[in-house]
Structure 1
Amino acid sequence: MQLKLEPHCLDDPTTESFVIPGAKVFDRYFDCPLDYSNTNSLETIKVFVRHLVPINKVKDIKTLPFLLYLQGGPGFEVASPSTALSGWIKVAFEQGFQVLLLDQRGTGLSTPVSATSLEKFPTDDDKVNYLTHFRADSIVRDCETIRLALTKDRVSTESQRISLLGQSFGGFCITTYLSLFPQSIHKAYITGGVPPLVDNPDTVYRSLYPRILKKNKLYYKKFPQDVVKVRRIHEFLWQNNVTLPNGGKLSPRRFLQLGILFGGSGGYDTLHETVTFCINDLDNINKLSYRTLNHIQQLQSWDTNVIYCILHEAIYCQNQQSSRWSAERVMKEEQFASDFEWRLDRLQPDQAVNFTGETIYPFMLDDFSELRPLATVAHKLAEYKWKDLYHIPTLNTLDSDDGKMELAGVSYFDDMYVDRDHSEYTASQINGFQQYITNQYAHNGLHVDSENVLNYLIKLGRGDVAYDR
């Protein structure tokens, strides 16, 4: 198949550009195959990359090495930076890189996936078939297509290699990249996203629910008065049909999904503030105000980023296995059912109502307005048998001992999103990978202290520091 790539990509005069403090920014679009396994298909999608070059090195654009950033998710775009004078981009520039910010296929300015965009397909089966091409294996092949286009004029194989930085799900993508195209990678840094090498999510959630319960206990220890307040809000939502500004439903279970905030720095305080808003409304007007409902709606991303729901559990599936609504099934197992009881008629009189976390459930297809049209599609995807994402023999034998590849990652001790034990095992399977484990940050360490995190990983990957567990 002949790929349609931008001619003379780096100096194409039609490419839009602008300047932010510290960098010149180029907006680049690439035509990539929808289905890389079907060489006869001519169907393509657009993939967008925001390309940042140090403002004083624009003349060196054809020779500077690339650092490609892979965003967390699945299903989230990269925010447009306002400056390159701080954060991890500053560190990347100091290390001699130019930076690529990828909107992964289906997100942001790349060909989007939404309830509206999928209306072009006549049947739900057609939608399912389309969506099977939006996992890490396809994202990585987009990255490889882009790498080839941007480095095609470079004379040496070494100068054509790319470096990677991946946050959360971005680390899952990096591990797939190392499996499929190890020869294309020079350096790779993973923050909070060394993936579990599992075939389906069941074991992931059996590890996750105890961590969510621990976070609930810490929350109620910090805000003990919220035990009664959350029960009151839960009872109100159980007895009343509450509609959100965009037409979604604020059911008791949807409200409890705000526990996803526990995974990031400041999450306890944000949830407590939300509980306070709700109680203030109930005390004063005996219902939830528009302001409070809009606040809750904005804290939940599944309407604006539908991939985050409908392909979430699929990121753990390989070896021809399906997810089958894993989080829902596992939550109902005997060891978790009583702790995560949400039905009002089954709660004990003084029982704290526990929040859930980054977990996906079938009820969401009714409660979230943008997910309702995709309900049948989501159920079909939950039964879909997925192909492999990782090749362990390749990971075992990565060429890192002679200094050709630098690999490092940070895992967070009490990460509520990515299980540390699973991450440690995976790290042990990646030859040459240097893993840093810390309790200094929550899952979003790269966002709250990005300069220190990336600087340390670079030193760890080079061998400039030795991390001893």
Structure 2
Amino acid sequence: MYALEHMRGWPCYARGKELVGGRVYERFFNCPLDYSQPDSDQRVRVFVRHIVPLGKEGKVHELPFILYLQGGPGYECQLPASVKGGWHALAIKEGYQILLIDQRGTGLSSPINADSLEARFTTTNEKAEYISHFRADNIVRDCEFVRKVLCEGRADGEAKKLALLGQSFGGFCITTYLSLFPNSISKAFITGGVPPLVDSPDAVYQATYQRMLSRNKQYYDKYPRDIQRVRTIIKHLNMTDVKLPDSGTLSPRRFQQLGIFFGFTGGFDKVHQLVFKAADDLATTGKLTTHTLTAIADSQSFDTNPLYCILHESIYCQEGNASLWSAHRVREKQFAAEFEHSWDIISTREDSSSPVYFTGESVYPWMLEDYAQLRRLKDVGHALAERSGWGQLYDTSVLARNTVPVAGVTYYNDMFVDFNLSEQTANSIQGFKQWVTNEYHHNGLRADSRVMSYLVDLLRGDITDL
């Protein structure tokens, strides 16, 4: 079905299909790779799902848009099973049609992986240069490209602008959007993603490692028997070369990365189930079963979404700064003892019941060895970590005189985005309405539809007692 393909000259094809509560049109846009050279033959394909409320198909050129920016970086935007619940339902109730964009390099938007890079480029430098165009500044320029196409021919005013919703890294992108194209935004909502206005990642990891320690202590308070279970697993992984079904290596340091789930509601329970099963395997068979190894591999998406590893730290880099594997450096310098993974060292501690701590969302150079697909990107991963030619992502002078209505929620116990750094940024954006809560973790938007509802009321002025 191509019901909207030729309507008012929209230069993209649109295949429509039913969704509970709406109709989805699948759109592709041909965007410049480098917006400083808009006429170059180098292009990226950007995919957008366009959801129109049922019964409103005839008003697609009238209803305002809300565009959702996914967390990450490096993750595609999932199509919901229904728009009758969660933030999607509220957006439709507020009179919006919804745009779900796969940010460049993800999903169906010129996805980056080892195969796609090897098909196009020969050298490491060529690959790294290409990927350098996949940060928030160009993601935002893609959104602006899409806005101009979809709003072409509309009357001036709110109908020509986008409302924005950004989760986690999506909030980072919104802050860049506010810096670059504030006149294109009608309003913005940020959930767990008010970015730190730093020049390099070091300050971020110095703060978030402290939060990782706190979450580890809470985890072991909830599951004290897991202290010995995890020690047993770490010992086994130190003594045995454990291969995963996908040919990756389950090293002790990779096992520690399961702690990323500590940042989400329900994450303690998820990790406990994996720990409990792995420890039971070792107790009954002396090795980890295929079932357990598959469950662990399936819970770690660094191979399927490689941008998260190789481009993650660059989201904090401003002009002239290289990341240089910041999380690894900060860990080795300040937190090596707390996050030790070597059994030779752990076994010499006086307290034989001391816990082994998990890490969080940090990325490390050794991931380019332990993950099967990331091995193929080892050289380009190191090249990007050493790159210092990044541009500015934020214009603090523009943010200081912002006139776009913006509301955001900052989770006090957020393990990924430090509260104090986020609060500094919120105070730097004129008119920013900030909601601080300890009721949710990083995935509050998905965990409870009240998060979006509260932000809408806050921006509207219905809530004033913060």
State the TM-score, normalized to the length of structure 2: 0.96
Structure 2 counterpart of 1:463: 461
Deviation at 1:340, TM superposition (A): 1.3
SS in 2 for 1:332: helix
- Once residues 114 and 57 of structure 1 are traced to their aligned partners in structure 2, the CA distance between those partners, rounded to angstroms, is 38
The 3 A distance-change label for structure 1 pair 10 and 48 is farther
Structure 1 counterpart of 2:370: 367
Structure 2 counterpart of 1:387: 391
Which deviates more from structure 2 when the two are superposed, residues 9-18 or residues 126-135?
A: 9-18
Deviation at 1:337, TM superposition (A): 2.1
Structure 2 counterpart of 1:30: 29
Answer yes or no: is the 8 Å Cα contact 1:10–1:61 preserved in 2.
no
The 3 A distance-change label for structure 1 pair 9 and 429 is farther
* Letter matched to residue 46 of structure 2: V
* Letter matched to residue 424 of structure 1: E
The 3 A distance-change label for structure 1 pair 408 and 146 is same
Structure 1 counterpart of 2:165: 165
The 3 A distance-change label for structure 1 pair 159 and 380 is same
The 3 A distance-change label for structure 1 pair 430 and 10 is farther
Counterpart pick for 1:356 among 356, 359, 368: 359
* Letter matched to residue 264 of structure 1: F
Answer yes or no: is the 8 Å Cα contact 1:167–1:192 preserved in 2.
yes
SS in 2 for 1:67: strand
The 3 A distance-change label for structure 1 pair 13 and 384 is closer
- Structure 2 unmatched runs, 5+: none
- Once residues 158 and 80 of structure 1 are traced to their aligned partners in structure 2, the CA distance between those partners, rounded to angstroms, is 26
Deviation at 1:427, TM superposition (A): 0.4
- Once residues 361 and 429 of structure 2 are traced to their aligned partners in structure 1, the CA distance between those partners, rounded to angstroms, is 26
- Once residues 248 and 217 of structure 1 are traced to their aligned partners in structure 2, the CA distance between those partners, rounded to angstroms, is 29
* Letter matched to residue 176 of structure 2: T
- Once residues 218 and 198 of structure 1 are traced to their aligned partners in structure 2, the CA distance between those partners, rounded to angstroms, is 29
Deviation at 1:10, TM superposition (A): 7.4
Structure 1 counterpart of 2:98: 99
Answer yes or no: is the 8 Å Cα contact 1:10–1:62 preserved in 2.
no
Structure 2 counterpart of 1:267: 267
Structure 2 counterpart of 1:256: 256
Report whether the alignment pairs 1:396 with 2:400.
Answer: yes
- Once residues 8 and 198 of structure 2 are traced to their aligned partners in structure 1, the CA distance between those partners, rounded to angstroms, is 39
Answer yes or no: is the 8 Å Cα contact 1:460–1:467 preserved in 2.
no
Deviation at 1:265, TM superposition (A): 0.5
* Letter matched to residue 124 of structure 1: T
Q: How many residues align?
A: 456
* Letter matched to residue 364 of structure 2: Y
Answer yes or no: is the 8 Å Cα contact 2:227–2:355 preserved in 1.
yes
Answer yes or no: is the 8 Å Cα contact 2:53–2:97 preserved in 1.
yes
Answer yes or no: is the 8 Å Cα contact 2:68–2:164 preserved in 1.
yes
Deviation digits for residues 402-424 of structure 1 (CA, Å, limit 9, x no counterpart): xxx32100010100010010110
- Once residues 306 and 56 of structure 1 are traced to their aligned partners in structure 2, the CA distance between those partners, rounded to angstroms, is 40
4+ residue segments displaced more than 6 Å: 9-13
SS in 2 for 1:371: helix
Deviation at 1:218, TM superposition (A): 0.6
The 3 A distance-change label for structure 1 pair 11 and 198 is closer
Report whether the alignment pairs 1:454 with 2:452.
Answer: yes
- Once residues 37 and 302 of structure 2 are traced to their aligned partners in structure 1, the CA distance between those partners, rounded to angstroms, is 31
Counterpart pick for 1:378 among 344, 364, 381: 381
Answer yes or no: is the 8 Å Cα contact 2:192–2:442 preserved in 1.
yes
Structure 1 counterpart of 2:410: 411
- Structure 1 unmatched runs, 5+: 1-5, 400-404
Answer yes or no: is the 8 Å Cα contact 1:406–1:462 preserved in 2.
no
* Letter matched to residue 63 of structure 1: E
Structure 2 counterpart of 1:402: none
* Letter matched to residue 378 of structure 2: A
Report whether the alignment pairs 1:423 with 2:426.
Answer: no
* Letter matched to residue 257 of structure 1: Q
- Once residues 165 and 344 of structure 2 are traced to their aligned partners in structure 1, the CA distance between those partners, rounded to angstroms, is 47
Structure 2 counterpart of 1:45: 44
Deviation at 1:84, TM superposition (A): 1.1
* Letter matched to residue 37 of structure 2: N
- Once residues 352 and 33 of structure 1 are traced to their aligned partners in structure 2, the CA distance between those partners, rounded to angstroms, is 50
The 3 A distance-change label for structure 1 pair 226 and 462 is same
Answer yes or no: is the 8 Å Cα contact 1:396–1:430 preserved in 2.
yes
Deviation at 1:31, TM superposition (A): 0.3
Answer yes or no: is the 8 Å Cα contact 2:261–2:271 preserved in 1.
yes
- Once residues 9 and 177 of structure 1 are traced to their aligned partners in structure 2, the CA distance between those partners, rounded to angstroms, is 27
Structure 1 counterpart of 2:345: 346
Structure 2 counterpart of 1:247: 247
SS in 1 for 2:372: coil
* Letter matched to residue 192 of structure 2: G
Q: What is the percent sequence identity of the aligned residues?
A: 51
Deviation digits for residues 401-448 of structure 1 (CA, Å, limit 9, x no counterpart): xxxx32100010100010010110000111111000001111000001
Deviation digits for residues 122-180 of structure 1 (CA, Å, limit 9, x no counterpart): 10100000000100000000000000000011021432011000000000000000000
Structure 1 counterpart of 2:235: 235
Answer yes or no: is the 8 Å Cα contact 1:242–1:249 preserved in 2.
yes
Structure 1 counterpart of 2:68: 69
- Once residues 11 and 121 of structure 2 are traced to their aligned partners in structure 1, the CA distance between those partners, rounded to angstroms, is 34
- Once residues 195 and 381 of structure 1 are traced to their aligned partners in structure 2, the CA distance between those partners, rounded to angstroms, is 21
Deviation at 1:341, TM superposition (A): 1.5
Deviation digits for residues 104-123 of structure 1 (CA, Å, limit 9, x no counterpart): 00111111100111102010
The 3 A distance-change label for structure 1 pair 11 and 375 is closer
Deviation at 1:463, TM superposition (A): 1.4
- Once residues 12 and 262 of structure 2 are traced to their aligned partners in structure 1, the CA distance between those partners, rounded to angstroms, is 46
Deviation at 1:7, TM superposition (A): 6.3
Report whether the alignment pairs 1:192 with 2:192.
Answer: yes
Structure 2 counterpart of 1:437: 436
* Letter matched to residue 193 of structure 2: G
* Letter matched to residue 374 of structure 1: L
- Structure 2 matches for 1:52-131, cutoff 5 A? 52-119=51-118, 120-131=120-131
Answer yes or no: is the 8 Å Cα contact 2:13–2:27 preserved in 1.
no
Deviation at 1:20, TM superposition (A): 1.1
Answer yes or no: is the 8 Å Cα contact 2:12–2:28 preserved in 1.
no
Answer yes or no: is the 8 Å Cα contact 1:205–1:327 preserved in 2.
yes
